[in-house]
Structure 1
Amino acid sequence: MGITKLADLIRLNAPDAISHKDIIDYSGKVIALDTSVVMNQFRAATPSLSPLTGLFFRTLTFLEHDIKPVFVFDGKPPKEKAAVLEKRAHAAGWRSANRTGAASSQTTDCLQLLKLLGVPVVQAPGDAEALCAWLVKQGTADAVASEDMDTLPFGGNILIRQLNAKKDSEVVEYSLNKLLEKLQISHEEFVDLCILLGCDYCDKIAGLGPRRALTLIQKHRTIENVVLHVNRKTHPVPQFWGYKEARKIFLDAPQTEAPELSWTEPDEEALVGFLCHVKRVKEDRVRSRMENFRQTRERNREEREEERAEGRSRQTRMEDFFRVTRKREQPVKAADPLSSNRKRPKTK
């Protein structure tokens, strides 16, 4: 689920925290990805195909643009997330959710595929999203690519959405620092705001819309103070509300060491053996994509060499790093989607 309507709130109240870029702007960057989110995207978009095929194609797209992906796998989820996981499992038609963090057969397949692609993987002690954000805070990664907005309350400074292979697809980047500055709240206060909006770890105050939630946090600064001033008849506070536990999950750093990351060349013959002979993907698809990968990467590198020679370089090889920024026109603001659907009581 992520954080309910957080993207809309940012777009309307802190548009300067959003920038629009192309996938090529992330050349040379280390990007952390929540593997489960990526695989769920492929399952939803192409239910008739194996998500492994989508992962294979998407990862090669990153590499041919000289993006350095790091795939993070979920560990044991916090007990506070149990209700959400069961709901998702039921929607997906599964018997029950995985609450142990034990590797499924699909996870094992993903690990094998990414190893053959030469891409590093990291095992999170808990939620992968939390570790992705922590990798950015530690400077191990430059950004998190995810469609979920949880990255921001977890403290990930840069969140990227829509980082995919579609032509003319515009990537959306969120800056946590610019967001906090515009809203004039601290990170701790932002976490409380996200809990009020609705998160995966506890219930929310019923009927409290995003605009009202933001106003209350800006005025009262903490959930404890908000509860003292909210109208409990129109916005009943949940009984045994676990907001303190949710707050702790967002604010506590994952208990792990920063990993050492390395990337190697994809092993085409091993990929063919795994995808085609074991997973029954058509060999001509794999061979054709690998050939296209080599040609595209070489063409991109030649273009960068020409740009460097002309003194207009803006990208680097895979082993180099620097930030690229580009200004784009901001989209026209749409109607306000943030107001609560709950009818307000009439005033005399």
Structure 2
Amino acid sequence: MGVKFKDITNPEPIEMKELEGKILTVDASNVIYKFLSSMRQTDGTPLRDLNGHITSHLNGIMFQTSTLIEKDIKPVYVFDGKAPDLKKETQEERINIKKESEKKYLEAKEVGDVVAARKYAARTTHLNKEIIKSSKKLLDLMGIPYVQARTEGEAQASYMVSQNDAWAVVSQDYDCLQFGATRMIRNLKLSKSNSKNLELISLEKTLKELNLTREQLVDVAMLVGTDFNKGVYGIGAKKGIKLIHKYGTLEKALESLNETMEVDAELIREIFLNPNVVHNYTIEFKRPKKSQLLDFLCGEHDFDEKRTISAIKKLQAKTAQSSLEDWF
């Protein structure tokens, strides 16, 4: 979910063409979750093969990623590791929401309300070990690099951008700014009708416009509420900025409000400002393994062979070089 910073950022519109030749880190959990939520039958059931295995995520990864590659946009997927202990409460809340949505989905399905059934079914989406495992296998066969994060995938993806190993993070969550991503891309979709909504947010520009340091931005986030703390009731992003401008730090702002935090602020600062990330990752784009891709997608998961071959051709056309250096 991330921090609610929409009202204080000033994104710039950007065209897909401007992303050509650029490496983008992709929050894998975020993207795969969207594939699982949106790629469903009319009654809300996810796409499945003849053996009942869910394939919505494989469909999204294969066909949308191959289209990005065809456009000379180079995605690197970053997978979540173990979430920080402070995120436990947020995770429990999300589980409860999914349980409630599951109940409403079954009720809607029973009375034949297809629209409601699909809406609530999308909210029951969750990632499991099998979905992550099959996603990584598919990326390997496609020749698309991925990195396994130690903790938050967004932290790892943002770190790679901050080190200039990628140009921007693809994510919907503003947490990337707190994690230090110099650029983030929102609303990356492949249909022409949605290309107008593509947005670029610059960390440097955002901090300058808000007259904040990154450390102060993190303090504002804690006032508003993050995945690791609830925040102060009634404090939104704009009010949080005013408080930090006036008092300088979170602690002084809380004192002025006669409020306290239920968790140690330093622990949250550490998560955002000094995240536990992998430093020795490798980014290498390889040729797709055509025969193995066909066996995996068409043989094991009943994908349409003609459409799959078309996607493989897109991958082959842009991955003739074997290493990252050849892309520059």
If the TM-score is normalised by the length of the shorter chain, which range does it land in?
0.7 to 0.9
CA distance in 1, matches of 2:266, 2:14: 37
Alpha-carbon distance in 1 for matches of 2:180, 2:26: 15
Supply the RMSD in Å over aligned alpha carbons.
2.5
Structure 1 counterpart of 2:225: 198
> Quick one: distance in 2 between partners of 1:70 and 1:125?
16
Q: Deviations over 1:248-297 (max 9, x none)?
A: 110113243231211012222211111111122232331243356668x6
Is 1:140 matched with 2:165? yes
TM-score with structure 2 setting the length: 0.80
**Separation in 2 of the partners of 1:62 and 1:174?**
20
Tell me what 2:178 maps to.
Answer: 153
Contact 2:143/2:286 (8 A) holds in 1:
yes
For 1:62 and 1:185, the matched residues in 2 are separated by 35
Residue from 21, 41, 57 that aligns with 2:34: 41
Equivalents in 2 of 1:165, 1:110: separation in Å? Answer: 20
Q: Does 1:283 align with 2:314?
A: no
CA contact (8 A) 2:62 2:311 kept: no
Q: Which residue matches 2:285? A: 263
The answer on 1:109 being equivalent to 2:134 is yes
2:15 counterpart residue number: 22
1:207 to 217, 220, 234: 234
2:106 equivalent to 1:81: no
**Deviations along 1:276-328, whole A, 9 cap, x unmatched?**
11122232331243356668x69xxxxxxxxxxxxxxxxxx99444xxxxxxx
Alignment of 1:1-348 (within 5 A): 1-4=1-4, 6-10=5-9, 15=10, 18-47=11-40, 48-49=46-47, 50-93=56-99, 104-168=129-193, 169-170=195-196, 171-230=198-257, 232=258, 237=259, 240-291=262-313, 319-321=326-328
- Distance in 2 (alpha carbons) for counterparts of 1:286 and 1:107: 21
Q: Is the 8 A contact 1:144 1:160 kept in 2?
A: yes
The 1-side partners of 2:314 and 2:162 are apart by: 35
Unmatched tracts of structure 1, length 5 or more? 96-101, 299-316, 322-348
CA distance, structure 2, for counterparts of residue 110 and residue 252 of structure 1: 28
Please give the TM-score of this superposition, normalised by the length of structure 1: 0.76
> Residue deviations 1:137-184, cap 9 Å, x none?
111111100111110000000000111211141310000001111111
Give the fraction of aligned pairs with identical amino acids, expressed as a percent: 31
Q: Distance in 2 between the 1:118 and 1:188 partners?
A: 38
How many residue pairs end up in the alignment? 285
* Structure with higher helix content: 2
**C-alpha distance in 1 between matches for 2:99 and 2:299:** 29
Please state whether the residue corresponding to 1:163 is helix, strand or coil.
Answer: coil
Contact 1:203 1:241 (8 Å CA) reproduced: no
Task: Tell me the distance in 2 between the aligned counterparts of 1:141 and 1:191.
Answer: 23
CA distance in 2, matches of 1:320, 1:23: 18
Q: Identify if the C-alpha distance between structure 1 residues 272 and 222 changes in structure 2 by more than 3 Å, giving closer, same or farther.
A: same
User: In 2, distance between residues paired with 1:87 and 1:272?
Assistant: 40
Q: Please tell me whether the aligned partners of residues 134 and 254 of structure 1 are also in contact (alpha carbons under 8 angstroms).
A: no
CA-CA distance at 1:2 after TM superposition? 0.9
Structure 2 residue runs without a partner (length 5+):
41-45, 48-55, 103-126
